[in-house]
Structure 1
Amino acid sequence: MPNIDYYFATISPFTYLAGPEFERIAKKHGATVTYKPLDIMALFGRTGGLPPKDRHPNRQEYRLQDMRRRAIVSGLPFTQQPAFWPTNMAPSSYAIIAAQNAGGDVGSLVNALTRSVWADDKNIAEDDVIRACLEETGFDPALADSGLLEGAETYARNLEEAVAKGVFGAPFFISDKDERFWGQDRLDDLDRHLSGEF
């Protein structure tokens, strides 16, 4: 059974747009997924990137166009400039880490949280939003407040591990054969890899 280490950020638009299709591909191939939320802004600083607000205007304009097009292709509802972006990623990431430790459909939780940002204009740094996403996806809402120390340690460790493994953006997928795929526009390549094409 293949495994995919999935590095992502809960405020990343492309993590949101990748979500349902990635879960479909993983299920199709019977792949297990290790969810590794991280601080994308810190990752940019560690790997030569810039936060979107600090990029050249040409890049900022292209990003907005590309997000619009990717949203149309994905068929997902999308707000190009959400009300609560950027926001503190740590609380939602800790909840994902706690949910993964508890067991359950973590992919649905990731999708619910990212949808909250990019479609529902909610602030995923707020406890009630996180609790609602946990409950919606079959988890105990109390996970929002449990294992916070372990969540913080794992969250920090995910960043260090990501840098060491060559991750520089989100979403980023690494197979157990160390094949790396960056971005929701590389999901077809991930699918082909898991099919044995490369």
Structure 2
Amino acid sequence: MPHIDYFFSTVSPFTYLAGTRLEEIAQKHGATISYKPMDVFTLFDRTGGIRLPNRHESRKEYRLQEMRRQSRKAGLKLNLQPMFWPTNPAPSSYAIISAAKAGGGDLGGLVHAFTRACWAEEKNIAEDDVVKDILAAHGFDPNLADSGMLTAADVYANNLEEAVSRGVFGAPFYIVGEEKFWGQDRLEDLDLHLAGKI
């Protein structure tokens, strides 16, 4: 059975623009997924990336065009300048880690809901009430937002270290064995790889 390690950030617009296609691809091929939220800003610092405020204007302009095009292509509403961005990704990431450990809900839907809240619904995913509402809406105990935070914080930090050690440099990032796929626009390639075509 193939396995996908999924490194992502809940504040990444391109993680949002992946929608739930990863889950659809995994189901199609009988693959399992390990969800690994990480601090993408620190990842940039550690792997040669440049945080958005420090990028050249041409890169900033291209990013906005690409976000607009990709949102239309995916059929997903997107606010190019969301009210609560950047925000602290840790609370939503900790909730995902705790939910994965607890089980019983829709984990893929939970991940997408946090990114959608940030990029399409003008919600601050660092706020406790927002985190709890999203947990509950996807079949998880909302009190997970208040429990196991030390363990979740350790996992979150370890996810970053694992990402760096395995050659991850952006989000979303998918790894199957030694094969790496960066960006939601490489999901088609991931699908073809799992089908044995590339």
Q: Normalising by structure 1, what TM-score?
A: 0.98
State the partner residue of 1:168: 169
For the residue of structure 2 that corresponds to 1:19, the secondary structure is coil
- 2:156 is aligned to 155
The letter for the 2-side match of 1:196 is G
After superposition, the C-alpha distances for 1:5-60 in whole angstroms (9 at most, x for unaligned) are 00000000000010311121111111110000000000000000011111000000
Letter in 1 for 2:144: L
Which residues in structure 2 correspond to 1:39-188 (within 5 Å)? 39-103=39-103, 104-175=105-176, 177-188=177-188
The answer on whether the counterparts of 1:5 and 1:35 sit within 8 Å (CA) in structure 2 is yes
Aligned length: 197
Q: Which amino acid aligns with 1:41?
A: F
TM-score calculated relative to the size of structure 2: 0.98
Q: Which residue in 1 is equivalent to 2:30?
A: 30
Alpha carbons 1:127, 1:144 under 8 Å: kept: yes
* Matches of 1:185 and 1:63, distance apart in 2: 14
The residue identity in structure 2 corresponding to 1:174 is I
Q: Tell me which amino acid in the other structure corresponds to 2:68.
A: R
Displaced runs of 4 or more, over 3 A: none
Which shifted more, 99-108 or 180-189? 99-108
Structure 1 gap segments, 5+ residues each? none
Q: For residues 35-92 of structure 1, what are the alpha-carbon distances to aligned partners after superposition, in whole Å with 9 as ceiling and x for unaligned?
A: 0000000000000001111100000000000000000000011111100000000010
Separation of aligned partners in 1, 2:154 and 2:100: 14
Please tell me whether the aligned partners of residues 19 and 107 of structure 1 are also in contact (alpha carbons under 8 angstroms): no
